[in-house]
């Protein structure tokens, strides 16, 4: 199982590094900018995870192969720049979804191997999955995916819970990894395809009720405090297909 987890981790680094390269190309960065975004996305989440768990040294210091993989990914991307530039805009969120699923499982697995509680393992899976992408988006001056209304962190949490529960039940490790990956990836891809989103809370102004016909000439007799309470309320609503972050993607 250790070897499989290692290769899954390496695959996650490649996919996330590629997503960083794609975003760097769309942001018109030079090769060094591509390398920075690729490295931050590929190893940023895992670095924070190891620091929180007290793992010394962090994984890419103990095994520099991760750095060489990132360099190779960026190098091949520079050579094939024209092909990457032609990729559809849906490719970035899809690649990010695969990286999210892989890193969620890796983060939860590593925490459990260090005998961390289940809730900590779920949080470490979430941190590993979303932190690198958050840093990538912030460096590219985009609203991070995890902060948008789309189903993103929820998918990671669901995958982490699936892994922790099956691990506690001592399910076969192939089944545990497969179901956890499928849970995270399935939810995220479904959110991308059908534009699923979580409800959001927004402050809106609601006009006070119009006075009755008999009160038309009497003026407004409603006290200021009553008018204030009647005009500001919190509502629960669902966003449409696009939000501020989605419009930013189209720039």
Same domain, 141 and 215: no
Same domain, 102 and 45: yes
pLDDT tens for each residue of 73-91: 999 998 887 888 778 788 8
**Residue 217 pLDDT grade (very low, low, confident, very high; cuts 50, 70, 90):** low
Same domain, 47 and 161: yes
Same domain, 72 and 186: yes
pLDDT of residue 36: 97
pLDDT tens for each residue of 219-235: 555 555 555 444 444 44
In a domain, 212, yes or no: yes
In a domain, 71, yes or no: yes
242 pLDDT above the threshold of 50: no
Q: How many domains does the chain have?
A: 2
In a domain, 31, yes or no: yes
pLDDT tens for each residue of 180-191: 999 999 999 999
The answer to whether residues 183 and 230 touch, using CB atoms and an 8 Å cutoff, is no
pLDDT of residue 196: 85
Tell me, rounded to whole angstroms, the distance of Cα 45 from its chain centroid.
11
Same domain, 187 and 216: no
Same domain, 221 and 112: no
The answer to whether residues 110 and 53 touch, using CB atoms and an 8 Å cutoff, is yes
Which tokens is 159 given? Answer: 């995958």
In a domain, 169, yes or no: yes
Same domain, 161 and 76: yes
249 pLDDT above the threshold of 50: no
pLDDT of residue 146: 85
Alpha helices in 86-212 (DSSP H): 91-113, 118-139, 153-168, 173-194
> Rounded to whole angstroms, what are the CA distances from 140 to 80, 109, 215, 227?
21, 30, 57, 44
- Enter the pTM of the model: 0.82
* Distance between start and end Cα atoms, the chain: 43
Same domain, 21 and 114: yes
The answer to whether residues 152 and 109 touch, using CB atoms and an 8 Å cutoff, is no
**Residue 129 pLDDT grade (very low, low, confident, very high; cuts 50, 70, 90):** very high
In a domain, 249, yes or no: no
pLDDT of residue 206: 60
For 104, the domain range is 2-197
**Residue 215 pLDDT grade (very low, low, confident, very high; cuts 50, 70, 90):** low
């Amino acid at each position: 199982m250790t070897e499989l987890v290692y290769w899954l981790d390496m695959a996650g680094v490649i996919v996330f590094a590629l997503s960083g390269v794609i975003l760097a190309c769309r942001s018109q960065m030079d090769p060094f900018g591509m390398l920075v975004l690729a490295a931050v996305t590929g190893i940023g989440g895992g670095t924070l995870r190891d620091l929180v768990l007290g793992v010394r040294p962090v994984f890419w210091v103990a095994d520099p192969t991760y750095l060489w993989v990132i360099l190779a990914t960026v190098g091949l991307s520079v050579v094939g720049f024209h092909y990457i530039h032609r990729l559809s805009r849906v490719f970035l969120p899809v690649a990010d979804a695969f990286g999210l699923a892989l890193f969620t499982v890796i983060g939860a697995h590593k925490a459990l191997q260090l005998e961390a509680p289940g809730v900590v393992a779920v949080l470490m899976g979430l941190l590993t999955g979303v932190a690198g992408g958050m840093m990538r988006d912030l460096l590219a001056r985009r609203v991070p995916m995890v902060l948008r209304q789309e189903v993103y962190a929820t998918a990671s949490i669901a995958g982490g819970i699936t892994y922790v529960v099956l691990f506690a039940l001592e399910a076969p490790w192939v089944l545990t990894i497969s179901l956890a990956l499928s849970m995270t990836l399935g939810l995220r891809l479904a959110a991308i395809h059908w534009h699923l989103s979580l409800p959001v809370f927004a402050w809106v102004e609601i006009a006070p009720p119009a006075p009755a016909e008999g009160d038309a000439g009497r003026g407004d007799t409603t006290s200021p405090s009553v008018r204030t309470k009647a005009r500001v309320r919190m509502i629960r609503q669902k966003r449409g297909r696009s939000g501020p972050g989605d419009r930013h993607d189209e720039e």
